[in-house]
Each structure stands twice: as C-alpha cells, then as structure tokens.
Structure 1
Amino acid sequence: MGDSNPRQDQVQNIEALNYSGKILLNLLNNVLDFSKMESTTITLDPIPTNIMLAVKQIKKIHEPSCLRKGITLELEIDDDLPIVQLDIVRFNQVINNLVSNAIKFTDEGSVTLRITKLNETTDTVLLHTEIKDTGIGIAQDQHEKVWQAFTQASTSTNRLYGGTGLGLPIVKSIVEAMGSQVKIDSEPGVGSSFNFDLQLKLASNDELEQATKKKEHDLKGKRILLVEDNQINVMVGRQILEKANLVVDVAYDGQEAVNKVRENNYDAVLMDIQMPIMDGYTASKEIRKFNTVTPIMALSASVFMEVKSKIIESGMNGFIFKPFEPEDLLDKIEDAMQSNIPANVVAN
C-alpha cells in the first residue's frame, strides 16, 4: 500500500499498520523459537539507527489500548540521542513486549516509556531505557518468577489478565544478547518499572543515510525461483519481486523446487525452511548434488546460530530474515547474483 501513491493522510496509518504487522510477526516467530532460547544464542544484526524515529510509532500503536482503558501513554525520549548501531528489530520487540505488558496490568494512571542518555564518549553511548506503569505491581518474592516461561506472578493474575507468560522471558533473552540485564522495581498497588542500560557504538549521519538510502536495482529480466508453501507469503513475495522486474517462478515444497532447478535456469533461489514433503535444508542439499552455482538464499524467521549454521551446511549461500523490508530483500538478491561466493560460505 505504501508504494501505491497513498494520500498524505493515509501515510501514517499505513506506517502504523506495517509496524503492527512486524510486531505481531516478530512475537510469533519468537514464540515459535522460544524452546531453543535456553540452548542456543540469539545473534543480533545492528544497523545505523535513529532511535527517536524508530520508536515514533510506539504511541500510535499502543494508544488505542490505553484510551479504551482510560489510561495515558507517555513518551519521554531525550532530544539529543545520537545515531547508534542497534538491532532495531529486536530493540522494538523488547519495547513493545514491555509496553504491552505494562498496559495490560494498568487499569488507571499511566504507562511511560523513557529513553535517556547517561554517558557519551567519542565511540559509544550509554542509554537507559525504562518502561514504568502505575499498575497492579509485583510482590518482591515474585520478581524472579516473572522471567520463567509460561508463568505469571500468580495464578490469579493469569486468570484475570490472560496471556502466555512468554513476553518477559523473551525480553530477558534479547536484552542479555545485547549485553545487558533487565531490572525490576515493583510494589503491589503502586506499579512497576522495567529498565535496562545499553552500551552502543555510535554511528554517523552518513552511515545512517547510506543504510536507509534506496538502492537502484538492476534486476530486470533476471529469473528467480521462490520456494514457499504459504499462499499469502507467495502473493506478497511475488508482488515485491515482480515490481523489481524479476521473472518469478514458484515452488510450493522442497521436492518441487529440486525438480524446477533441475529443469530450468535460475539466477537465484529463495528457499523457505519449513515446508511439507521436503524442507528447505534437504532441498538445498539435493540441488547442490547437480548445481553448485545458482545462489540459494534461505528465508528464515530464526535468529539463532544453530539455524544459521544448518543453513550454510545444507549448501545455501546465505539467509534473509523474515520479516524483511522489500529493499533489504532486493539488496540481498542482487548481492547474491553478483557474488562469486560458493556454497557453504556465509554470505551475510
């Protein structure tokens, strides 16, 4: 929708809708991967980020829930935050989990998201992030319990407010991967504060501009095989790829992908991992038995090293995280086509 020349009054709503979709998909992907969090390490993808711009949708996304409950959502973001290197997808995942949690357990008063600069050197900055509410609070003897998967502070909390009990464990895992720890300051009947400090590398405005600059792609007439069993994903993927003037062929499972690569010449293959009949790992191994040249890029929702290693071991050239921005997808495809990196070598 954003690429269809929307009216100015529609732009913010489209951005909010897009952001909401990313939040939902990231939550789902993390829930699906949660069972692996105890045994594998989350890897991060830091990019030059303007935090002020990155969190500007927070209020727009969550304010309707606050209005329905008669509470307020306040943003207190320092005006002089520098450009930083940050995995903004995972950072937003943390913020949205904590804000959603705060709203859920607050029936009167307010929820506040505060991001402040504690210290800045020539190379790094220390940022303090806090989500504070005036909700029901958590008893001191329950503070450690909230980090356990599928549990909440008490059975009555679960009965009254619902939820899976996965939000805070996911937050804990991501923040620890960022080199920090989440602290709790909470008192029943008063409210809660969840906060953490992040030491981040500074980035320049030029780096930010370069990272966000739309690249001109030269993909006209290039032929690509999209291997994906989900019809919605196929529809969206085809629209993105065909808009970039790529010729798109589709396979709905790994076995069909192997047959199509054997019978046709493709400039690249986009391979989903989880599929019926034959998964993406097996399909890639089969393709590599007779074709070691065509780049194969995995479409993966996982952030875990275990999955990344499996992708490379199966003969794929690299991976593209889901959800992805159309520009990022096209950049990765073009890089793969232009690269001479052979299979079994990471291309990220």
Structure 2
Amino acid sequence: MRTDPTRLRQILTNLIGNAIKFTEKGHVTLSVRMASPPKAGTPVRLEFTVADTGIGIPSELKEKLFQPFTQLEVSTSRRFGGTGLGLTLSKQLVQALGGDLSLQTSVVGQGSTFAFSVSAGTFEGDLVMDGRCVPGPAVAQPYAHQDEQQVFNGKRVLVIEDSEDNQLLISRYLGAVGIQVDLASNGFEGLEKLEKSLYDLVVLDIQMPGMDGHQVARTLRDKGFVQPIIALTAHAFKEDRERAFRNGINEYLTKPINRSVLLRTLSNRLGASPLH
C-alpha cells in the first residue's frame, strides 16, 4: 500500500488541529480503516474519520466550509480562526490523492465529524510490521552541531501562534537548542511584546483570528522592525508565498512543522542577523 505521506500528514494535521482547537472538553478521535477487505492485487482505499466533541458548526456555515477563506464573512474568520483555509487546502490535497473530504455530521455544542478517503495503491500481500513501526528517538534529541549551537545559544525568539499545541511544540524544539522563547497567542499580543522587548527573530503563524500574520508582518516592517520573520502556514500555494514576501516575511514554511527544516532555517537567519 502506498500514498503520498507528506500530503496525508498535512491533511491529518489540519483536521486534527481544527478538532483540538475547537474542543474545550471531551475528546478528539481519529479512526482509520480499509474500505473493503484486502485481497492481493486489488486496489486499496483507506477511509479516515476525525470526530470531536467540540463547539460544532452552525448550519448557515456548513455550505461555506470548504470555500476559500476570503469568501467568508469577517465575523466568521474571527470566530473560527481560519478554519476555512485549512479545510479548503485539505479538500484539495485529498482530491489530489484520489479521494474526497466531507463533513459527515455536526451539531452545535456537541461536535463534528469529518471523513475522507484516499487511494493507497494496490494490496500486494500480507500485512506485516516493518522497522518503521518501531518507536523512534524522542523528537527533543539535540539537533544542532557545535557551530549551530553557538548561533542559537542565548538568542531570543518570539513565537506568535494561536494554537497552544503548536506553541508547546515550537517551544520544545527551540528551547532544546538554547533559544530563549517568548510566546504570544495573537497578533495584537505579539505587537505589544515587540514594542516592549527586543527579539532576534519572530516565528509567525499566518492564519490567526483578529489580526493575521500578513497584517502583523506589514505592521512590523512599517514600524522599522528589521529582524527576520519566519512564517508558518498550512498554505503551499505560490500566490500565498508571494504575498508573504511582499509583506516583509523572510521565510515561508508550511505546516505540519518539520523540526529539522525549522531549526535549519533559524540557524541560517540567526547566523546572519545578530541582535543590535
């Protein structure tokens, strides 16, 4: 069985991330199954379901759910924090894998269930566990070589990200290599911290409620902020990348967050841009 692991990982990151974001209590469940019993030489389809016990989706928003974020009402974007963007991208990625993404059920105050299927090639034989199923090393193991460690040590980085899970993940990655991390949960809080303290670099989530990453970056550059800005986003489209660069963003990294890519990017930027 084969499929595109990068696309599948991004789809699941978007769906599970949304589910966690809008579930204050209860649970989030990921289920995976084969659409039919496997037989050697036959096509395989994998069916995924992501269910939560969160806030649910109002009926008037269900038809707009998979439309690009720019077509939604401003009040919707503030309330749902960019859900439409992630779902639009997820649907496109699922379709690229030969499937479709849909909202199965959703009740306000009770939760939502999303489902999608993907083509997984041809079943070639018995299911066996290979080496990739064995638990790997902890994600927090040291990354930097000695020269990179010297670049990171004592640097101050502000992470502007509305997801607590991503805040925790990024903090662990950066803290493990000696970076001093400060956190802001939205654009307004981030700008306030940047007015009071000096940072070597900003890691900035693009899709946030209230003030998105593009607005934050543009505001910073207009105020004379010269340190590097690294954007994190679920979007991999050329036009989104070009817009980010126009707004003064230096690097554009797509989610899910790749630890090695993130640290390598920070190493390059911090090595070239010391704090004055």
Which TM class, normalised by the smaller chain length? 0.5 to 0.7
Unaligned runs of 5+ in 1: 1-19, 33-63, 66-99, 113-131, 136-149, 151-163, 174-191, 196-213, 341-348
SS in 2 for 1:262: helix
C-alpha separation between the residues in 1 aligned to 2:201 and 2:257?
18
SS of equivalent residue, structure 2 residue 169: helix
2:7–2:93: 8 Å Cα contact kept in structure 1?
no
Larger Rg: 1
C-alpha distance 167-244 of structure 1, shift in aligned 2 (>3 A): closer
Choose from 40, 43, 48 the match for 1:133: 43
- Equivalent residue for 2:268, pick from 335, 343, 346: 335
Give the alignment of 1:2-151 within 5 angstroms.
25-28=9-12, 103-104=34-35, 106-110=36-40, 132-133=42-43
What is the aligned counterpart of 1:171 among 80, 85, 97?
97
How many Å separate the matches in 2 of 1:193 and 1:256? 44
Corresponding residue of 2:169: 236
- Answer whether contact 2:234 2:254 (CA < 8 A) is retained: yes
Aligned partner of residue 154 in structure 2, secondary structure:
coil
* Deviation, structure 1 residue 107: 2.4
TM-score computed with the length of structure 1 as normaliser: 0.42
Tell me how far 1:303 sits from its aligned partner: 1.0
Give distance in 2, aligned partners of 1:232 and 1:284: 22
Letter in 2 for 1:26: Q
Give the 3 Å change call, closer, same or farther, for CA 165–227 of structure 1 in structure 2. Answer: closer
Matched, 1:307 2:240: yes
Is residue 300–residue 322 contact of structure 1 (8 Å, CA) maintained in 2?
Answer: yes
Quote how far apart the aligned CAs of 1:324 are: 2.6
If asked which structure has higher relative contact order (CA below 8 Å, sep 6+), I would say 2
Q: Distance in 1 between matches of 2:218 and 2:257?
A: 25
Instruction: Tell me which residue corresponds to 2:187.
Output: 254
Q: 2:188 aligns to what SS in structure 1?
A: helix
Distance 1:277 1:220, change over 3 A: same
Does the Cα contact within 8 Å between 1:268 and 1:295 map onto a contact in 2?
yes
**CA distance in 2: counterparts of 1:258 and 1:290, whole angstroms:** 10
Indicate which of 268, 280, 284 corresponds to 2:201. Answer: 268
CA contact (8 A) 1:225 1:269 kept: yes
Is residue 201–residue 229 contact of structure 2 (8 Å, CA) maintained in 1?
A: yes
Give the counterpart letter for 2:185 in structure 1: Y
User: Could you say if the C-alpha distance between residues 327 and 25 of structure 1 is closer, same or farther in structure 2, counting changes exceeding 3 Å?
Assistant: same
Change (3 A) 1:168 1:239: closer
Work out whether residues 311 and 319 of structure 1, in 8 Å CA contact, stay in contact via their aligned partners in 2. Answer: yes
Percent identity of paired positions between Structure 1 and Structure 2: 27
**Shift in alpha-carbon separation, 1:31–1:287, aligned structure 2, 3 A:** same
Cα pair 1:225 1:251 within 8 Å, conserved: yes
SS in 2 for 1:257: helix
Q: Matches of 2:174 and 2:11 in 1, distance apart?
A: 26
Judged with a 3 Å threshold, the aligned counterparts in structure 2 of structure 1 residues 333 and 109 are, in CA distance, closer, same or farther, namely same
The Cα offsets for residues 186-229 of structure 1, whole Å up to 9 and x where unpaired, read as xxxxxx9969xxxxxxxxxxxxxxxxxx6412211100000001
Q: Which amino acid letter does the alignment assign opposite residue 281 of structure 1?
A: H
1:261, CA displacement in angstroms?
1.4
Aligned equivalents of 2:186 and 2:246: distance in 1? 20
1:23–1:317 Cα change, 3 Å? closer
Shift of 1:276: 1.9
Deviation of 1:30 (Å)? 7.3
- Residues 109 and 279 (structure 1), Cα distance of their counterparts in 2 relative to 1, 3 Å cut: same
Distance (whole Å) between structure 1 residues aligned to residue 91 and residue 211 of structure 2 = 33
Q: CA deviation at 1:108?
A: 4.8
What CA distance in whole angstroms lies between the structure 1 residues aligned with 2:266 and 2:93? 33
Deviation of 1:233 (Å): 1.0
Cα-to-partner distance string for 1:232-255 (whole Å, 9 max, x where unaligned): 111111111111111111111111
Distance in 1, Cα, partners of 2:198 & 2:237: 32
TM-superposed deviation, 1:295: 0.5
Question: What is the distance in 2 between the residues matched to 1:303 and 1:167?
Answer: 11
Count of residues in correspondence between the two structures: 169
